[in-house]
Amino acid sequence: MSDATTALMPTAFVGHGSPMNALERNRYTDAWRAFGASVPRPRAVLVVSAHWYVNATAVTAMGHPRTIHDFFGFPDELFAVSYPAPGAPDVADEVAEVAAPVWVGLDHDSWGLDHGTWSVLVHMFPDAEVPVLQLALDATKGYAQHLDLGRRLAALRERGVLVVGSGNVVHNLRRVDWARPEAAYDWARRFGEEAVGLLTTDPARVVDLADHPDHDLAVPTPDHFLPLLYLAGMAAESGTAADVLVDGYAMGSISMMACTVGAHAPHGTDGGPAAAPLPDPDRVPPEATNT
């Protein structure tokens, strides 16, 4: 990874899937590693994770964010993972500044780094030396408002901040199918392909996916979809379409697509192991894992 911090930083969206991807090497985690190795060394990483979904807009502002194990039913090895990256209180102030007039609260002691953040960053930046902060998803805001906030955050790219959205374009845990480790239901593929088509041509129109006939199956709750709108907003603000880093599906109803604006990382291929699965449903139902 380069030591440069003054270059215009890229931005990315990552389909993070199961938190077990933190411990595994597969074609998705290899794409995340390739992306992290290809970008200039960030001044900080700001992650918009599906797993900090609250009724407010807030940003972590502590010096040493804790590693949060916000899931159930996984092996002890996963609960033992620590990602001790420093925080970035100065960047938190800048997030609040560029987001104006959106109010952004500074969280000094409530949250930390949830698995939507660390399960990806353990591959992108495995040394945990780059400062990391998280931006909460405001559940009271609609798609257009999240896209607009993404546009505002584009200014951080000029300040050496790498903004990463972490979620899944298609995320329906009630429909997961262990017999389809790398396949997708037709409705999931239709929605995922339409999302990629918009991202790579006219990112601002990603909000139109709300009217897609498969939206309610693909996005039964908005939390995992919303991080994509931050990438789309920054792409729209720069006038640049997104580029797909890796694409594919897990367990029928989870999209693992990752994309970027402004990076030149090697693209993922169709070869290599599948994404990590969820726990055995006899131990814990998928919808109860908080993934």
| Domain range summary for the chain, segments of one domain joined by + | 11-288
Nearest 5°: phi and psi at 199? -60, -35
Report which of 40, 29, 50, 21 is spatially closest to residue 290, judged by C-alpha positions.
50
Residues 6+ away with beta carbon under 8 Å from 285: none
Tell which phi-psi region holds residue 160, choosing left (phi > 0), alpha (psi between -120 and 50) or beta. Answer: left
Q: What is the pLDDT confidence band of residue 1, given thresholds at 50, 70 and 90? A: very low
Q: Is the distance from CB of 244 to CB of 267 less than 8 angstroms?
A: yes
Tokens of 215: 């939206």
Q: Which amino acid, one-letter code, is at 96?
A: A
**Confidence (pLDDT) at 164:** 98
Please, which pLDDT band fits residue 73 given cuts at 50, 70 and 90? confident
Q: Which helix (H) or strand (E) holds 105?
A: strand 105-107
The whole-number pLDDT of residue 275 equals 72
Q: Return the percentage of the chain with pLDDT > 70, whole number.
A: 90
Half-sphere exposure of residue 244, counting CA atoms within 13 Å on the CB side? 19
Least confident of 3-7, 50-54, 194-198: 3-7
Q: What is the DSSP letter of 14?
A: E
**What is the Cα–Cα distance from 214 to 185, expressed in whole angstroms?**
11
Please state whether the predicted TM-score (pTM) of the whole model is above 0.85. yes
Q: Looking at 71-75, 100-104, 210-214, which range is the least confident one?
A: 71-75
- Specify the fold of 11-288: Protocatechuate 4,5-dioxygenase; Chain B (3.40.830)
**Greatest CA separation for the chain:** 50
Contact 134, 113 (CB under 8 A): yes
Q: Which residue has the tokens 């969280």?
A: 107
